[in-house]
A and B are shown apart, each in its own frame.
Chain A
């Protein structure tokens, strides 16, 4: 009998009030997960992709203009629209609360890509190609996806699996926020984020830093949004995909639409 595994439900909190749009998460993710190099041609073909991307929105008009940054990655939904449309069960929600993509099962129908409201699933239109020497950098813990299959953010599952083996299997102790940080097991984007705008943790862990935000947003659903005590919300909450990522609203001290008394 194998020792009982500890139940996790991984989740992330993104504090938009801290995000500066610096791209550290984007490049860290590319380095960790063997993403193909986004060449100039890829951008021109609109086939460049990043598992985590920074969306930039403009608001207002000069001089009262603001740019907003929102990091968008796979939301790891509880009711994921991508899952039921896959004809070969290549994507499913696993016991750890991850929305998983099994590359060797994927046949590349791209139904999931079309059904994802967040546009965080990507199709490999080309065989990934690196100059011979750059291949030395590739992470052996992550498969290189061939042409013709869909890929997406995994919450760096390879790090979490390593963590389970090296922490939970050995000491039997729960992987909590501190242990994730100490062993470099948090997802690459979270680890890199210079302003700590990304927080990663276990929704099942009452001690986790992310837990209060999930409690708040889960307690007060979209119809009781005003009762929430935090700035938390989910992307496209109204379609009830129940993402494992909670965003904290940007605070605007000088709103654009307000007739300002003080300047």
Chain B
């Protein structure tokens, strides 16, 4: 008998020794084949890699990325070195996008509901039937249509809102922790409609109130690139100083030179008090017109905010003050801040999420006028609008006020058709809004375009799964832009796998509008065609980063670069409204809290964000930077406080707000205000892929569900930091799933320059001297 490989395997299979042999020498049958494809484009050659520029959609920032494609499969996502938002860098979230593309539980094709609403029972249907149903429903109930997407800009936003308008409906973006209050403060203080950029790289003093800008706030990768230079940039003469003022010790606070555990909600008072010191001690920048800022009153405009009055309100721990009075501490901070120009004050996240959040942020951002960093190097830079008329450069995001009224519209039958893209309002809105319950109506038709099952999609009548962004066209005007005009282009870098049949959401909108003759404002056959038109319009502008002699060449270069930008087209300048400080002082108010007990600080998870990445195993397995916890919810409490309360690490505790309760294991955090409880967002999903539902209620809870639906005064945004909670034991205990302790710590790396010489505080970059 002739010994062929297969014979050998058969022989080997009969003995244990053979089994070992198989393990060593064996290979899958498929591996022994070599395929002649029918067609072979040049870029599908084995062993050759191609890098395509596109945009990442894993977080609302939309960073420019390059995707490595080999044999038609995406292998790696990296920052696009040319894209002026993230300069070739990426966050952990961008990398994890590949797992969305090749996720084992992507919805394969259209589905219709078969069970009761919310039961999660669906049966496959065809695209033809799905689209017919969509058209029929639009014809019947299109009036009052609500189209919900994640925060989007540029073409997707333009087409979504025009589509909704064409049917007499409305388009709303959804984000659990939105930037509405921040946007309003920017408008009030700087008179700008677009979010500004911060020139961290050239700042010398950074005073941040609540904003977790290195982890999740607004444009973290961009801020991180600047932050590296802020610390030890080449050619710097001074290392930047960073003071982080917030009740919870975030990842950003961990990097700060000083963390100030202030009482929640009182940030605006501290900011005004700093202004008071700067004005009364005459520390402001030479260019600053204090008279205009204070309506001619000078420090008297802020008479109620002197350090002596504000100091005690901050409730700073005595050990931090080291014998100084809080008033002296404020004065010292104000002198440091004003004395190290360019200085920059930023605020967001928890500082904005109180009933007085708008006041807090206005007071914080007004500080930049005093130190002369508005519109200057090392300060706040403003952004120009879109290069193409009509293309939205800012995302439209619904506030708590909007969602409350939307829920009312649905309950009262004014909205009878709900179309939802990847946003998940059922999961992300506080249970007290009653949004999920409102959807439980027979005369409501819900269409979801999500490529994954989630809480909202589980309520849908029809699911028409969208393509993942790596398979689809798109565009973005980054917000914040880098101080000049940018238009990013997203192109499909791979085709969907053959066992999946998704269709582009925007293309479905366009074709449906066409079919129903509502395409007056939507004259494009596809999103690609709309992008091509924009490309031609950009070519006609004859400026910017893409050089070409013909429109066709322009389009190709545009795709190769991943976008278009024009460094000379910078943003407008801003000047302070007269009597800005008088206005802000009038707005001053103490924060109002719901419930009793400890302050609840929900926070965006470093990789899961508000839960949108929970189905991605890399995002789940990436340890939280501070606690190193993975795959789990947790409750962070100050270590000493926890001992006093009688808890040990891993005890399951109940966190009860005025609206309800959740349970999660407790983790002792040495850096936490004793009266604050931190709980991350992201877990607690009950519908979705296996990776998203990793634990039972004891260890996987959605903190958003127990928030009161209280709003920020003046903006209507959710005041998500305005809850007080009771924490009590459930008597149970589990092991915390954490990376800490995985390797016995030998403190191998913990070297710090405690007494840095002048030379070292100044940047030592020997490379620069060459």
Is there direct touching of A and B in the complex, by C-beta distance under 8 Å? yes
- Report, as a range, how many residues of chain B touch the other chain: 35 or more
| A255–B755 touching, CB < 8 Å | yes
| B766–A230 touching, CB < 8 Å | yes
The answer, among B95, B98, B258, B632, for a CB contact under 8 Å with A254, is B258
Given A20-B252, A54-B623, A195-B225, A44 contacting B102 (CB threshold 8 A): no
| A63–B239 touching, CB < 8 Å | no
Q: Does A133 have its Cβ within 8 Å of any Cβ on chain B?
A: yes
List B contacts of A68 (CB < 8 A).
Answer: 750, 752
CB distance from A7 to the nearest CB of B (A): 21
The answer, among A30, A138, A196, A252, for a CB contact under 8 Å with B753, is A252
List A contacts of B747 (CB < 8 A).
Answer: 57
CB distance from A130 to the nearest CB of B (A): 9
| A197–B228 touching, CB < 8 Å | yes
The answer, among A43, A66, A188, for a CB contact under 8 Å with B738, is A43
CB distance from B22 to the nearest CB of A (A): 12
List the one stretch of B84-92, B418-426, B722-730 in contact with chain A.
Answer: B84-92
List A contacts of B228 (CB < 8 A).
Answer: 18, 194-197
Given A15-B232, A48-B739, A61-B670, A263 contacting B748 (CB threshold 8 A): no
List B contacts of A4 (CB < 8 A).
Answer: none
Q: Does B78 have its Cβ within 8 Å of any Cβ on chain A?
A: yes
Enumerate B369-427 residues with CB–CB distance to A below 8 Å.
Answer: none
The answer, among A21, A50, A136, A236, for a CB contact under 8 Å with B251, is A21
Complex CA gap A70/B747 in Å reads 10
Given A20-B255, A62-B670, A251-B753, A56 contacting B625 (CB threshold 8 A): yes
CB distance from A214 to the nearest CB of B (A): 10
Q: In this complex, what residue of B is CB-closest to A56?
A: B628
Q: In this complex, what residue of B is CB-closest to A191?
A: B78
The answer, among A37, A43, A136, A188, for a CB contact under 8 Å with B102, is A136
Q: Does B277 have its Cβ within 8 Å of any Cβ on chain A?
A: no
CB distance from A33 to the nearest CB of B (A): 10
Q: Does A95 have its Cβ within 8 Å of any Cβ on chain B?
A: no
| A22–B251 touching, CB < 8 Å | yes
Q: Does A112 have its Cβ within 8 Å of any Cβ on chain B?
A: no
Enumerate A2-22 residues with CB–CB distance to B below 8 Å.
Answer: 15-22
Q: In this complex, what residue of B is CB-closest to A131?
A: B104
Q: Does A78 have its Cβ within 8 Å of any Cβ on chain B?
A: no
The answer, among A38, A46, A132, A235, for a CB contact under 8 Å with B749, is A235
Q: In this complex, what residue of A is CB-closest to B742?
A: A46
Enumerate B730-770 residues with CB–CB distance to A below 8 Å.
Answer: 735, 737-756, 759-761, 764, 766-767, 770
Given A23-B92, A56-B626, A139-B76, A213 contacting B252 (CB threshold 8 A): no
Q: In this complex, what residue of B is CB-closest to A42?
A: B621
Given A37-B618, A230-B764, A231-B760, A23 contacting B623 (CB threshold 8 A): yes
Q: Does A123 have its Cβ within 8 Å of any Cβ on chain B?
A: no
| A24–B89 touching, CB < 8 Å | yes
Enumerate B579-622 residues with CB–CB distance to A below 8 Å.
Answer: 606-607, 617-619, 621-622
Given A21-B254, A137-B74, A39 contacting B670 (CB threshold 8 A): no
| A253–B257 touching, CB < 8 Å | yes
| B-contact bits for A184-224, CB 8 A (1 contact / 0 none) | 10001001111111000000000101011100100000000
Q: Does A94 have its Cβ within 8 Å of any Cβ on chain B?
A: no
| B625–A132 touching, CB < 8 Å | no
Q: Does A118 have its Cβ within 8 Å of any Cβ on chain B?
A: yes
Q: Does B303 have its Cβ within 8 Å of any Cβ on chain A?
A: no
| B-contact bits for A111-145, CB 8 A (1 contact / 0 none) | 00000011100000000000111111111100000
Given A61-B670, A263-B333, A192 contacting B89 (CB threshold 8 A): yes
List B contacts of A60 (CB < 8 A).
Answer: 670
Complex CA gap A226/B253 in Å reads 30
Q: In this complex, what residue of B is CB-closest to A118?
A: B748
| A62–B103 touching, CB < 8 Å | no
List A contacts of B33 (CB < 8 A).
Answer: none
| A184–B66 touching, CB < 8 Å | yes
| B78–A184 touching, CB < 8 Å | yes
List A contacts of B106 (CB < 8 A).
Answer: 133
CB distance from A5 to the nearest CB of B (A): 21
List the one stretch of B163-171, B286-294, B315-323 in contact with chain A.
Answer: B315-323
Q: In this complex, what residue of B is CB-closest to A25?
A: B92
| A262–B737 touching, CB < 8 Å | no
| B497–A136 touching, CB < 8 Å | yes
Q: Does B206 have its Cβ within 8 Å of any Cβ on chain A?
A: no
List A contacts of B623 (CB < 8 A).
Answer: 23, 26, 54
| B764–A63 touching, CB < 8 Å | no
Complex CA gap A254/B752 in Å reads 11
| A250–B753 touching, CB < 8 Å | yes
| B104–A212 touching, CB < 8 Å | no
| B671–A137 touching, CB < 8 Å | no
List A contacts of B497 (CB < 8 A).
Answer: 133, 136
CB distance from B467 to the nearest CB of A (A): 15
CB distance from A169 to the nearest CB of B (A): 15
| A257–B754 touching, CB < 8 Å | yes
| B752–A252 touching, CB < 8 Å | yes
CB distance from A159 to the nearest CB of B (A): 10
CB distance from A209 to the nearest CB of B (A): 5
- Report, as a range, how many residues of chain A touch the other chain: 35 or more
Q: Does A155 have its Cβ within 8 Å of any Cβ on chain B?
A: no
CB distance from A192 to the nearest CB of B (A): 6
Given A55-B745, A133-B103, A262-B332, A24 contacting B319 (CB threshold 8 A): no
Q: Which of B88, B92, B261, B746 has the most CB of A within 10 A?
A: B92
List A contacts of B241 (CB < 8 A).
Answer: 253
| A22–B753 touching, CB < 8 Å | no
List B contacts of A250 (CB < 8 A).
Answer: 751-753
Complex CA gap A193/B225 in Å reads 9
| A40–B694 touching, CB < 8 Å | yes
Q: Does B56 have its Cβ within 8 Å of any Cβ on chain A?
A: no
| A63–B90 touching, CB < 8 Å | no
Given A40-B737, A137-B75, A20 contacting B622 (CB threshold 8 A): no
Given A38-B630, A67-B671, A23 contacting B622 (CB threshold 8 A): yes
Complex CA gap A48/B631 in Å reads 12
Q: Does A171 have its Cβ within 8 Å of any Cβ on chain B?
A: no
Given A24-B90, A263-B324, A70 contacting B755 (CB threshold 8 A): no
Q: Does B77 have its Cβ within 8 Å of any Cβ on chain A?
A: yes
| B751–A247 touching, CB < 8 Å | yes
Enumerate A63-89 residues with CB–CB distance to B below 8 Å.
Answer: 63-70, 72
List B contacts of A140 (CB < 8 A).
Answer: 47, 70-71, 75
List A contacts of B754 (CB < 8 A).
Answer: 252, 255, 257-258
Given A31-B76, A191-B88, A213-B766, A72 contacting B748 (CB threshold 8 A): yes
Q: Does A242 have its Cβ within 8 Å of any Cβ on chain B?
A: no
Q: In this complex, what residue of B is CB-closest to A235?
A: B748
| A53–B671 touching, CB < 8 Å | no
Known pairs A26-B92, A58-B670 / 18 extra A-B pairs, C-beta < 8 Å: A27-B619, A28-B90, A31-B98, A37-B621, A39-B617, A43-B737, A56-B628, A62-B638, A117-B748, A119-B744, A140-B71, A181-B81, A188-B76, A191-B79, A194-B89, A195-B231, A231-B764, A251-B760
**Which residue numbers of B lie inside 8 Å of A, CB to CB?**
23, 47, 51, 66, 68, 70-71, 73-79, 81, 86, 88-92, 95-96, 98-99, 101-104, 106, 214-215, 220-221, 224-225, 227-229, 231-232, 239, 241, 249, 251-252, 254-255, 257-259, 261, 316-317, 319-322, 324, 328-329, 332-333, 336, 497, 606-607, 617-619, 621-623, 625-626, 628, 630-632, 638-640, 670-672, 674, 694-695, 735, 737-756, 759-761, 764, 766-767, 770
30 contacts between A and B (CB under 8 A): A20-B251, A20-B255, A21-B254, A24-B95, A27-B92, A27-B95, A30-B618, A31-B98, A38-B617, A40-B631, A43-B631, A43-B738, A43-B742, A48-B630, A57-B750, A62-B672, A63-B259, A63-B261, A72-B749, A137-B101, A181-B88, A182-B81, A194-B91, A196-B228, A196-B229, A235-B749, A251-B753, A251-B760, A252-B753, A253-B239
The 8 closest A-B pairs by CB, nearest first: A195-B228, A194-B224, A70-B749, A212-B766, A131-B104, A27-B92, A21-B625, A67-B254
